[in-house]
Structure 1
Amino acid sequence: MTHRVVVVGAGFGGLFAIKALRRADVEITLINGTAYHLFQPLLYQVATGILSEGEVAPPIREVLRRQDNVDVRLGWVQDIDVESKVVSVAGPGIDYTVPYDTLIVAAGASQSYFGNDGFADHAPGMKSIDDALELRARIFGAFEVADLHTDPETIERWMTFVVVGAGPTGTEMAGQIAELAHRTLRGQYKHIDSRKARILLVDAVGAVLNTFGDHLSAKAEIELGKLGVEVRTDTKVVAVDATGIEVESNGQRERIPAMTKVWAAGVSAPPLGGKLAAATGAKTDRAGRILVEPDTSLPGHPEIFVLGDMMNLAGEDGKPLPGVAQVAIQSGRHAADQIKRRLTGKETGQPFRYFDKGSLATISRFSAVASIGKVRLSGFPAWVVWVAVHLFYLVGFKNRVTAVLHWAVSFLGRGRSERVSTEQQAFARQAIRAYGDPFRRTDDRSTATGTADEQAR
């Protein structure tokens, strides 16, 4: 009987594990909550109109079309029976189970609001295509609505944008909103001056891009200042509502009226991590990540591997490995290698060794920061490295070509290729929550109708 491998999650970890098993004698079932692979590092460019969602989210079936040993299935894993080795999945309107011999869990990370989940209604995160399209609608819509008003306070509230979290995502987002306001949209409105938009970058830590080191952090803050971004470090968000945000700094609270808020602070493991830990007796950290063995398997369960953002594994410096794409990619390949060794009767259990290829973040067009080993780059040279690296990891030749074309439009010119947004994108989050699962409602309605028809007969 062919060895059955179930992979949960089509992010970098899951996808690279599957590709590494292309020639192995295994049957792979990939379970993912969407039909696409998401290149999350460029999600902010979808939100700010540079790239389309298709360029950062190619269909999984297209990516894996030449790999015959993969069965792609849509759904969300609800439970894992580690004794029977069965995964229970909720699909759109249908529940099903999938047996496994080896399980790879690489379900990524969720946005963390540090216990204030109600903030999500007013400050979307940056973890999904839905998030990015909602933010695109909110950002471009804010200028449209501001142009309709005559009251200065109302206009200012609509033209104030607050980004929470000064890591790479938040920094890139703040920089792109500033470029939109000061460069792309300049002169396109009759009643407002888009250059008067106020962009704030807020973080509870003491520095922008604090993991990049003091030198690059200072460079990034200077560049943001040149763009007109107000940077507020050592500032904690204490409340968020529809029309503003409250922050606290040095014991003083302040309310900032703002219609558009972006949450780019904090991540946590998805609920599946807690379920898997409970089923296997594994421990988790404060963010819900599972503490794994050196080979990324679970203690007492060598047949289960946990990868990428979901695992807590110490690097050579003794600190947990960061939740970045390279960790997911390399851990995915390592797990696949362990499976292949096990199938051929070779010794397994080799520890995962992470090779740090560095960190990158853009500030604006032609300006970025890069930390690669002992090398520190900033400005245009770092931006060139950023372009090259992101093109390399974009999945699909077509996506690379169109990304280059759209970057040319946005960075060499003033245009944005993807400014279209809809009312549904802006408000669907609340509508879906109120309406419930449409697939379940359809099933319930069909069942109820069938019962009534039978009674009538």
Structure 2
Amino acid sequence: MSGVVIVGAGFGGLEVARALGKADIGATVIDRHNHHVFQPLLYQVATAALSATDIAEPIRKVLRDYPSIQVLYGRVVDIDLTARRVSLDDGSQITFDTLVLAAGAVPSYFGRTDWADFAPGLKTIEDARKLRSSLLRCFELAERSSDAAEQARLMTIAVIGGGPTGVEMAGSIAELSRHTLTRDFRNVRPGTTRVILIEAGDRMLGGFDARLSDYARQRLKKLGVEIRTRQRVEAIDATSITVSGETIPVGAVVWAAGVMASDLAAKTGGELDRGGRVRVDRYLRVKGHENIFALGDMALCLDDGGNPLPGLAQVAKQQGIYLGRALTAKPSDTVPIEAFVYRSRGNTAIIGRHAAVFESSSFRLKGWVAWMTWAVVHVYLLVGFQHRVQVALQWLWRYLTYERGARLIVEDATESSHKEPVAAQTSTSLKD
């Protein structure tokens, strides 16, 4: 099998596949999941605001109208540049003429990989479901405990990282505990949950204007979030974290402090940055390879000012649209393909109910207007019209009632970090 091979069906990979499919050009899409997931809303699955199926769509369904596109379920583990082939985890190999790498990123623990067991990141549906179960399990176990100190530990949640993901997680956890769960328990008061947001830098949302960062800080404090800036995490274990010399008993920890590009980037032999991203030129080609391209979180792509483009969904989507157009261009076309230019639609972060910050090159918003802008943009970017309708209706219901419907603890037989029994079980007939 030769032709175009696309590794990863995220925003960038899907756009390339769609363009090739519309042009009836053969391509193979390989992904280790059978679904495309809208990562910006994973935190809402983790905090029981949305179900997993609201933000995910089967890859085969997305691409089923394009007969020239083949979808393979598997994980690429190696790239042979000389033979032009990729190897999958089952031992099979697929040859290519053109390779598009869009496999995304994984949480980075800055060399402390042992922390991953105690402070999960948020990159996949599985991550979100496990985090949701971990958070809800804390309240269930606190309800059963007669030890005040143990109850306090279980109801202390630490979020590490003050970027958009960390801010959104901290705000959503605070709302979950203070509004949604407050009437559901008898022996503990979820409203007293201690949510700690830890950031090593000078302020949260360091990529935003300082005034928007200050607004986010004030809003989180109103939600009861304890904010610690200029403090570094020194240790994490199953029941505590150590921050700048202070050990804090915790029930759960969420990691939102950094990501690392897929290790496939290193297999191209190209230049890597500290985050493992491979440098690409203005045409998204890996240096030294005319037929290998990298997109999204895997690509170190510089703007006109020489600054790396951020790891945002809109960046990957625009890169995918651009590369799809380039790969489908005909030799007879008289207009040459110009270099990729990223056009920012603005950066945004939601802080809580009807509160957000939004920043573009020409204006800044905060409060309810920014929240509405965030909601419209995210609903529009969702794959599948039915998902846009579902999410919009659920957000409206949640806004009016503070209710959250996906409060399920999903047991995983492979989990070994939690030995305690769980009181709540789920029904296989319920949507997760």
**Kept after mapping to 2: 8 A contact 1:342/1:348:** no
Corresponding position of 2:261: 269
Q: Distance in 2 between matches of 1:340 and 1:166?
A: 41
CA deviation vs aligned residue, 1:317-344 (integer Å, no higher than 9, x gap) = 2211111111101111121222122655
The aligned runs of 1:240-255 (5 Å cut-off) are 240-248=236-244, 253-255=245-247
Alignment-mate amino acid for residue 414 of structure 2? A
TM-score, reference length from structure 1: 0.88
The aligned runs of 1:309-320 (5 Å cut-off) are 309-320=297-308
Aligned in 2, Cα 1:190/1:323: closer, same or farther, shift over 3 Å? same
* Structure 2: segments with no counterpart, 5+ residues: 418-432
Q: Distance in 1 between matches of 2:298 and 2:416?
A: 28
The aligned runs of 1:144-183 (5 Å cut-off) are 144-183=140-179
Q: Which of 91, 94, 97 in structure 1 is aligned with 2:93?
A: 97
Q: Distance in 2 between matches of 1:412 and 1:106?
A: 39
**Kept after mapping to 1: 8 A contact 2:5/2:27:** yes
Aligned in 2, Cα 1:338/1:357: closer, same or farther, shift over 3 Å? same
Report whether the alignment pairs 1:107 with 2:103: yes
**Kept after mapping to 1: 8 A contact 2:20/2:26:** no
* Structure 1: segments with no counterpart, 5+ residues: 432-457
The aligned runs of 1:37-436 (5 Å cut-off) are 37-90=36-89, 94-248=90-244, 253-277=245-269, 282-341=270-329, 343-344=331-332, 350-424=338-412, 428-430=414-416
**Kept after mapping to 2: 8 A contact 1:181/1:194:** yes
Deviation for aligned residue 1:301 = 1.1
Q: Distance in 2 between matches of 1:131 and 1:25?
A: 36
Deviation for aligned residue 1:406 = 1.8
**Kept after mapping to 2: 8 A contact 1:206/1:234:** yes
Report whether the alignment pairs 1:9 with 2:8: yes
**Kept after mapping to 1: 8 A contact 2:84/2:97:** yes
Q: Distance in 1 between matches of 2:331 and 2:242?
A: 56
Deviation for aligned residue 1:415 = 1.2
Q: Distance in 2 between matches of 1:308 and 1:346?
A: 29
User: Helix, strand or coil: the match of 1:130?
Assistant: helix
Alignment-mate amino acid for residue 303 of structure 2? G
CA deviation vs aligned residue, 1:50-101 (integer Å, no higher than 9, x gap) = 11111111110111111111100011111112222111112xxx32111111
Aligned in 2, Cα 1:346/1:5: closer, same or farther, shift over 3 Å? farther
Aligned in 2, Cα 1:271/1:411: closer, same or farther, shift over 3 Å? same
| Residue range with higher mean Cα deviation, 79-88 or 56-65 | 79-88
Moved >6 Å (runs of 4+) = none
| Residue range with higher mean Cα deviation, 266-275 or 18-27 | 18-27
Deviation for aligned residue 1:8 = 0.4
Q: Distance in 1 between matches of 2:119 and 2:321?
A: 35
**Kept after mapping to 2: 8 A contact 1:409/1:417:** no
Q: Percent identity?
A: 42
Aligned in 2, Cα 1:210/1:178: closer, same or farther, shift over 3 Å? same
User: Helix, strand or coil: the match of 2:291?
Assistant: strand
Q: Distance in 1 between matches of 2:346 and 2:392?
A: 23
User: Helix, strand or coil: the match of 2:4?
Assistant: strand
Corresponding position of 1:35: 34
**Kept after mapping to 2: 8 A contact 1:111/1:127:** yes
**Kept after mapping to 2: 8 A contact 1:273/1:290:** yes
TM-score, reference length from structure 2: 0.93
Q: Distance in 1 between matches of 2:372 and 2:243?
A: 36
Q: Distance in 1 between matches of 2:229 and 2:19?
A: 42
User: Helix, strand or coil: the match of 2:364?
Assistant: strand
| Residue range with higher mean Cα deviation, 346-355 or 36-45 | 346-355
CA deviation vs aligned residue, 1:256-277 (integer Å, no higher than 9, x gap) = 1002000011011111111222
Deviation for aligned residue 1:127 = 0.6
Alignment-mate amino acid for residue 329 of structure 1? K
User: Helix, strand or coil: the match of 1:317?
Assistant: coil
